[in-house]
Amino acid sequence: MPMEQPNQSARHLPAMAAAFLALVLALVGVFLGQRAWSHQTTLTKNFEACMEAAPFKHALNPAKTEAGLTPEELPRHFEEFDQIFRETGLPPIWNGETLVPWTIFHKESILVAKQCHETLEIQQPQKELRGTYAKPVWDPNSEIWQRTLTNLAQYQSRN
């Protein structure tokens, strides 16, 4: 009987080695994931601070905005909203006087975003940032901005 114990230990050795290896890999994965998460969080905070220079950060006067639209004008504004949305694929923004396409309202802000990307050495904002700024509408190289260059030119030539 004493001879069987080493055989039993030897049979469990591969399973114990696999469990140990799995534990080590899990710990390495957690460590690397935490570092990536932390880097992404820091980069996003730095990008948000850089974006404070963007024109959209200077809020419109809400009292003026609310007073600028009467109930009688709502149907016309709903139609205009729908038309702009169909043409650009993005909801328009009320600039305090009229509805304007999102891309026109933010055309200067997207230039600020592009400068911030360059300053912070962000190559792929949709992957490197988190939250709102990781969305394609804040990536100057995204399909939305590339596609809307054509739509923007058409909209501006009509108006």
User: Residue ranges of the domains in the chain?
Assistant: 44-158
- Comparing C-alpha atoms, which of 87, 99, 95 is closest to residue 155? 87
Q: Which residue has the tokens 């140990």?
A: 20
In this prediction, residue 141 carries a pLDDT of 86
Q: Kindly tell me if the per-residue pLDDT of 45 is higher than 90.
A: yes
Q: Give the C-alpha separation, 44 to 58, whole Å.
A: 20
CB distance 113 to 140 below 8 Å: yes
pLDDT single digits (tens) 46-100: 999 998 877 777 655 555 555 566 788 888 888 999 999 998 888 888 877 788 8
